[in-house]
Chain A
Amino acid sequence: LAKTTQPISMDSYEGQEVNITCSHNNIATNDYITWYQQFPSQGPRFIIQGYKTKVTNEVASLFIPADRKSSTLSLPRVSLSDTAVYYCLVDDDMDSNYQLIWGAGTKLIIKP
């Protein structure tokens, strides 16, 4: 099963760029990498998804090196409202028991 490893927590300040790295050493050739954001007592919300190189949308960028064993979520100019838990998700279908594997999440705290 493809597992992910993320830092448990990170701190930063308003206006800074934040980079959260996720390791996924056993990622399969066809797997996508997806990041979600979760606020307390709310369901996770899709942020960004990628397969290789770089993906950018209105809220974040996702960098994936050529070996795809890791990925980095980049949040530009964070604000207090970006304080949340961020999950790295790898699409795993290596077994017949297809399921999505969630990392433990990174608790990001943004300070004024």
Chain B
Amino acid sequence: DSGVTQTPKHLITATGQRVTLRCSPRSGDLSVYWYQQSLDQGLQFLIHYYNGEERAKGNILERFSAQQFPDLHSELNLSSLELGDSALYFCASSFSDEKLFFGSGTQLSVL
């Protein structure tokens, strides 16, 4: 158990819909990262928050947004969903940026 909690584990929705993925980091970790992993692909970095502030953006679509709240949990919002958004979405947290602890992911299926 990494100590990072992601909910829900599975999400099935339709095209055009909006969903919210939630991540609770390990106790004491200030950084939260979001990654997308499509089938048999590597991890695509989406966004990084540190203590409530956006620190870095990767390949995140304009339809996607995220935030980190004062209690350090984070949410990734995906809107106007398309079939191609179906993927595993991972959250990771860290105290130092060199070592990440990943959650078990949210499997999103857009039908």
Contact = CB atoms under 8 A, between A and B. Distances in A.
A60 to B, nearest CB: 14
Interface residues of B, number: 24
Interface stretch (B50-58, B66-74, B78-86): B50-58
Interface in B94-111: 97-105, 107
Contacts of B30: none
Interface in A80-112: 87, 91, 97-100, 102-105
Which of B33, B58, B100 is most buried by chain A, counting CB atoms within 10 A of its CB? Answer: B100
B104 A102 contact: no
A54 interface: no
Interface string A15-51: 0000000000000000010101000011111100100
Interface in A49-77: 49
A43 B90 CA distance: 7
B44 to A, nearest CB: 8
Contact of B104 (A32, A43, A105): A43
B39 to A, nearest CB: 10
Contact of B55 (A36, A42, A91, A98): A98
Interface of B: 2, 4, 33, 42-43, 45, 48, 55-58, 88, 90, 92, 97-105, 107
